[in-house]
Amino acid sequence: MKIVMLGAPGAGKGTQAKMIAQKYGIPHISTGDIFRANIKDGTKLGMEAKQYMDQGLLVPDELTVRILLDRVSNEDCKDGYVLDGFPRTIPQAEVLDEALVKLGDKIDFAINVDVPDENIIKRMSGRRACPGCGATYHTEHIPPKTEGICDVCGAALVLRDDDRPETVKNRLEVYYAQTQPLIAFYTEKGVMRTVDGTVPMEDVFAAITKILA
């Protein structure tokens, strides 16, 4: 079962990807994690990617797909995997598709976690992070015991720049320009499914497991 997770930033697709991975015993694969692992291990692919990253450049799609295919060739991916954060654009999806076809493989499901913009802005601007230990909170959903203070280490919580309303709006604009077209791409391939991401997390997951059943 090969799954691609789609959805705007803050829609909760990463959380759902982890829950899918746990339930079905398949790896949750984030391109950021793979890049970091390859760079840390000093692999040939990792060093190639690092050259671009050190210059502040995007890693080319073809290299990203090579790193991804290297990861999914591992034994733990034999029953499938969940891709989170890739593909982000139509060209990336096409390169991935071509590479999988050569392996006699394909994406089985693309799942879009659909959440309106206003919900996302409210959701993300309520996030708080601990600069000390990395713990995360939400002013409404997961508040700390003492307002503004980390439960774990007692440091003052911060609103990350990424979660500020103006930054979130910019990220949404990028998403609509680059990533939303993937919905039409995977719809055409007959693998696109959409779930309502505004309901409680457990209900989103129940809707996804129904699709995957």
- Digit-coded pLDDT (tens) for 136-171: 999 988 999 999 999 999 999 999 988 899 999 998
Asked if 11 contacts 111 with a C-beta cutoff of 8 angstroms, the reply is no
Strand, coil or helix: 127: strand
Least confident of 18-22, 62-66, 153-157: 62-66
Q: Which of 23, 36, 78, 160 is catalytic?
A: 160
Helix 117-125 × helix 165-174 angle, to 10° = 140
Phi-psi region of 154 (alpha: psi -120 to 50; beta: other; left: phi over 0): left
Question: Is 128 a catalytic site residue?
Answer: no
Question: Is 169 a catalytic site residue?
Answer: no
- The yes-or-no verdict on residue 53 having pLDDT over 90 is no
- Rg (C-alpha) for the chain, rounded Å, is 18
Domains and CATH numbers, the chain: 2-27+74-117+170-212 (3.40.50.300)
Q: Which of 18, 66, 171, 193 is catalytic?
A: 171
Question: Is 127 a catalytic site residue?
Answer: yes
Residue 107 half-sphere exposure, CB side, CA atoms within 13 Å? 30
The predicted structure's pLDDT at residue 77:
92
pTM: 0.84
